[in-house]
Amino acid sequence: MPSSTASTLAVSEPGSARLQTSLPGNRIGHLWNSRGAPSYHGDAYFGHQAAAVMMQVPSPDLPVGMDSIHAAMSRRGGATRSFRSEQGPYAHLWELVGYLPRQKTTVDLLVGKFLEQLNPVFDSVHEETFAITYEKFWSAQSGFFDLDAIDTRWLALLFIILAFGELLDCPQPCSTERQRECEESSQHFYWAARKAIVVAPTFSGESSDLVRAGILTSRYLIGLRRIPESWLTESFAVRMAQAQGMHIDGENWKLPRKVLETRRRIWSNLYILDRTTSLALGRPYTINDKHCIAAKITNIWVDSMTPEQAASARPQFIDQPTPSIYYLYQQELSSILGHISDECFNLVPTTSYSTYDRVLHFDQVLLDWSSALPAYFSLEHTDRSMDDTHAYLPWHRLWLHSAYHFARVTLHRTYVLLPSITDRYSYSREACISSACADLKTKLARRNPTMAERLKFNVAAHSLFNSALVLGVIAVREPYTQRTEEILEDLQAFCEKQHADRWVNEFELAEIRVVELCIASVRKTRQETRVESAPQGQSDATMAPFQDSSNFQESASNNVLPEDGREVSMHMSSNDNVLRQGDDWLNMWLGPTRAFPEPSDFQTWEELVEDLETRR
Indicate whether 88 pLDDT > 80: no
Domain assignment of residue 507, yes or no: yes
Q: How confident is the model at residue 600 (pLDDT cuts 50, 70, 90)?
A: confident
pLDDT at 8: 34
Q: How confident is the model at residue 267 (pLDDT cuts 50, 70, 90)?
A: very high
- Closest Cα to residue 511, out of 597, 407, 437? 597
Q: How confident is the model at residue 329 (pLDDT cuts 50, 70, 90)?
A: very high
Question: What is the mean predicted confidence (pLDDT) over 140-161?
Answer: 77
Domain assignment of residue 363, yes or no: no
pLDDT at 583: 57
Indicate whether 368 pLDDT > 70: yes
pLDDT at 562: 37
275 or 98, greater pLDDT: 275
CB contact set of 225 (below 8 Å; sequence gap of 6+)? 461, 465, 505, 507, 508, 511
Indicate whether 169 pLDDT > 70: yes
> Among residues 62, 85, 104, which one ends one of the domains?
62
pLDDT at 141: 60
Domain assignment of residue 198, yes or no: no
Domain assignment of residue 48, yes or no: yes
Question: What is the mean predicted confidence (pLDDT) over 298-306?
Answer: 91
> Among residues 37, 62, 87, which one ends one of the domains?
62
Mean residue pLDDT of the chain comes to 77
Amino acid residing at 507: F
Please write down the HEC assignment for all residues of 573-609.
HHHHHHHHHHHHHHHHHHCCCCCCCCCCCHHHHHHHH
Domain assignment of residue 385, yes or no: no
Is the pTM higher than 0.85? no
Cα distance between residue 252 and residue 505, in whole Å: 45
Domain assignment of residue 606, yes or no: yes
Q: What is the pLDDT of residues 548-565, one digit of tens each?
A: 433 333 333 333 333 333
The CA-atom distances, in angstroms, between 593 and each of 16, 186, 424 are 56, 35, 22
Q: What are phi and psi of 286, to 5 degrees?
A: -95, -40
Range of the domain at 588: 477-614
Domain assignment of residue 569, yes or no: yes
Q: How confident is the model at residue 326 (pLDDT cuts 50, 70, 90)?
A: very high
- Most confident range (mean pLDDT) of 131-145, 345-359, 438-452 is 438-452
Q: What is the pLDDT of residues 32-55, one digit of tens each?
A: 444 444 444 443 333 334 333 333
Domain assignment of residue 215, yes or no: no
* Counted domains in the chain: 2
Question: What is the mean predicted confidence (pLDDT) over 1-17?
Answer: 38
Residues 417 and 384: beta-carbon distance below 8 Å: no
Cα distance between residue 115 and residue 391, in whole Å: 14
Cα angle 50, 55, 61 (rounded to 5 degrees) comes to 50
Q: What is the pLDDT of residues 448-477, one digit of tens each?
A: 889 999 999 988 756 656 788 889 888 888
Question: What is the mean predicted confidence (pLDDT) over 86-115?
Answer: 83
